[in-house]
Structure 1
Amino acid sequence: MLVNFTVENYLSFKNRTTIDLTATSLTELRSSNLFDTPLKNLTLLKSMVIYGANANGKSNLFKAISFARKFILNSSKDSQADEAIEVQPFCLSTESIEEPSLFELVFIHDTAKYRYGFLVDDEQVHKEWLYVTTKNKEQLLFEREFQEIKTTKKFDTASANLTSITRKNALFLSVCAQFNIPTGIAILKAMSNVQYISGMQDRYTINFTIDMMDDPAKKKFIDNFIAGANLGFTETKVERFKLTEEILEKGNVPKEIRKMILESDEENVVVSTKHTVYDEDNEEVDNIYFNLFANESLGTCKYVALSGPIIDTLLHGKTLIIDEFDAQLHPHLSKAIIELFNSKENNPNGAQLIFASHNPSLINPKRKLFRRDQIMITEKDVYGVTKMESLYDKKVRKDASFEKDYLEGKYEGIPNVQIDEDFRLFDA
């Protein structure tokens, strides 16, 4: 469960910026959109939507989370020993371009709250820290300044032996997990439960869903999810096969290419959708299977591809981050997915959905999908710096027309399109 994420001096985030999923004191939609945590007086949001004009920094926020997650999970691996750290500071200011970038995550794992962060440039880790909160008291587990690492009695004693072997371009926490320190393993597991995907038909998302379909129990969840969308089919079928010499020869594939394909020994996958065939009296007489990615619409393909990560997140109480969430999706499908997360029955495990959108109808008050603390607006100033605020931070009234006011620019975060009146694409 993600409580908050903070970034500073990374891509367009020059100043310290935080997205906070801690529920505020707002009274609206408390029973559906919030869930309690094992910690006293800590209630979290189940979902968050981020709006803003193109190039305002929405994707940069997700890139920051993705970078932090990847660096935590992989920095201690031997393959990273001589590599530069792929971090990019805010480069439009002389104040920041030579300074390190900051990342910090606060999250719940089991019955404890952790606050973990690090300060890093492309060569080394400058600082690193880990705190734990149990019974509302925060305690330091370890802290680091360059290669000086100090652990406390609250942390695993065996970790003290790892301080001297931690490389300057690796995180101490990652090293602890690599050497089976329980707290390190637990936190890396928590980080792996924060998933980022693109909503633009990326291969990872499709493959993730296809792999889930291999499990009959999970496939049943996916088929139920798809059936509820009324896309014209209710079942899917996955077939895996390898191309043979005979198949390639029949397809008139040149010998050189046939050889390359056969040597790669790659498995091919076809996902089909089951449709009903009717006779002249509209009676069901047969079924036919269509190739999902060849015969179905882009929106249908995307909905099916997203089904795996969405079901997996709901089943295991993970945090799912989706960029371009509703591109190619009908607003009613987007609404249905959001309602799955903002639900007691379908989201009993505290799963969270964070996504970027350009569809303002989702925040129309009549839809009752979001509270004001769940709606974030990104804005980039003339110096290229991104800032983010929720409608709660902006002190927007409960009875305001969120969709209308957003489109009118009252909350910022919309493109400032200016075309010179003398502009002509073609000569008269």
Structure 2
Amino acid sequence: MLVEYQVANFGPYKQPISLNMKSTEDDSFCGRIPRFESPYHMSVNPVAAIYGPNSSGKSTIFESLSRLASTILGDKPTIWQRRCTFALDPSMQDEPTLFKLVFMLDEKMYSYFLAIRNGYVIEEYLALLTADQEKLYFERTVDGTEFGSTWDNDILLTEIAKTLSEKDTLTGRIAKILSNNEKYTEINSVYHFLERTFWVSSNSLETGIFPGFTIMTALTPSLAL
């Protein structure tokens, strides 16, 4: 289940924008909203709607999430990023495109972050979230990759990190090699979350009934976006 998604320097979005699925304190529909108890004690909306006038960037939110998914699931090079930066400010081509994904998978919450500049990954991390802290699984910067205590002595992961191209995500590369290995299920959480997501997109509805609306859906067993 999607909890929060952020993207910056992508298409028409220069500054970070956020889609937050956490529910408010309004309990009108509490019986229909999934709730996660210990340790999170939070409810997450299963449905969200994005609406606005034509060319306001609705479909771009979907496109950015779809681009992130295809990069990780397909283990594709990140060189595409140079074509997707904020076009109205030429200086943004040399600034990073940022993605942040917070999601629930098998009743655990994870946070994934990816920063790409000039087609190269400059930062990437994955952490397990508890009620009051993060448990680092890995953090990658231009200076190298550090694995958290669960994985810091793993020979396979260390070798993957050593041979990783700057144009590849560590998440995608680990999944390509180890996605079917149960030992690495949690470090492959981003891959498995996106793998279970079914995408349906209609860029516009010119039916005369809903002009200017865009349907964007990303469906998992507990998610509709």
Per the normalisation by structure 2, the TM-score is 0.82
Displacement of 1:328 after TM fit? 4.9
Aligned to 1:166: 164
Cα 1:327/1:192, change in 2 over 3 Å: farther
Cα 1:114/1:155, change in 2 over 3 Å: farther
Aligned to 1:63: 63
Inter-partner Cα distance in structure 2 for 1:4 and 1:137: 17
Per the normalisation by structure 1, the TM-score is 0.45
Inter-partner Cα distance in structure 1 for 2:194 and 2:93: 28
Displacement of 1:147 after TM fit? 5.5
The amino acid of 1:58's aligned partner reads K
The amino acid of 2:174's aligned partner reads C
Displacement of 1:68 after TM fit? 0.9
Once the two structures are superposed, the pairs formed by residues 209-358 of structure 1 within 5 Å of their partners are: 323-324=203-204, 328=207, 351-354=222-225
Gaps spanning 5+ residues in structure 2: where? Answer: 179-183, 211-219
Inter-partner Cα distance in structure 2 for 1:155 and 1:328: 53
Select which of 87, 93, 98 maps to 2:89.
93
Aligned to 2:50: 50
Cα 1:194/1:350, change in 2 over 3 Å: closer
Inter-partner Cα distance in structure 2 for 1:102 and 1:57: 17
Contact 1:177 1:185 in 2 (8 A): yes
Aligned residues: 207
The amino acid of 1:84's aligned partner reads I
The amino acid of 1:128's aligned partner reads E
Aligned to 2:181: none
2:14 corresponds to 1:14: yes
Contact 1:85 1:124 in 2 (8 A): no
Displacement of 1:164 after TM fit? 0.7
Q: After the TM superposition, list the runs of 4 or more consecutive aligned residues in structure 1 that deviate by more than 6 angstroms.
A: none
Once the two structures are superposed, the pairs formed by residues 408-427 of structure 1 within 5 Å of their partners are: none
Percent identity between matched residues is 20
CA RMSD of aligned residues (A): 2.5
Aligned to 1:36: 35
The amino acid of 1:70's aligned partner reads S
1:137-173 alpha-carbon deviations (Å, 9 max, x no partner): 3222111112611111133642122211111100111
> Which structure shows the bigger proportion of residues in helix conformation?
1
The amino acid of 1:110's aligned partner reads D
Select which of 133, 146, 152 maps to 1:137.
133
1:191-245 alpha-carbon deviations (Å, 9 max, x no partner): 122333223xxxxxxxxxxxxxxxxxxxxxxxxxxxxxxxxxxxxxxxxxxxxxx
Contact 1:9 1:101 in 2 (8 A): yes
Once the two structures are superposed, the pairs formed by residues 97-112 of structure 1 within 5 Å of their partners are: 97-112=93-108
Inter-partner Cα distance in structure 2 for 1:330 and 1:147: 54
2:187 corresponds to 1:192: no
Aligned to 1:148: 144
2:87 corresponds to 1:84: no
Classify the secondary structure of the residue corresponding to 2:44. Answer: strand
1:323-363 alpha-carbon deviations (Å, 9 max, x no partner): 54x665989xxxxxxxxxxxxxxxxx962222xxxxxxxxx
Cα 1:97/1:171, change in 2 over 3 Å: same
Displacement of 1:175 after TM fit? 1.5
Aligned to 1:404: none
Displacement of 1:121 after TM fit? 3.0
1:353-396 alpha-carbon deviations (Å, 9 max, x no partner): 22xxxxxxxxxxxxxxxxxxxxxxxxxxxxxxxxxxxxxxxxxx
1:96-144 alpha-carbon deviations (Å, 9 max, x no partner): 2321100110001113111001101342101101111135432221111
2:123 corresponds to 1:124: no
Contact 2:81 2:97 in 1 (8 A): no
2:182 corresponds to 1:183: no
- Greater gyration radius: 1
The amino acid of 1:120's aligned partner reads I
Inter-partner Cα distance in structure 1 for 2:142 and 2:31: 46
The amino acid of 2:10's aligned partner reads Y
Displacement of 1:56 after TM fit? 0.4
The amino acid of 1:179's aligned partner reads I
Classify the secondary structure of the residue corresponding to 1:28. Answer: coil
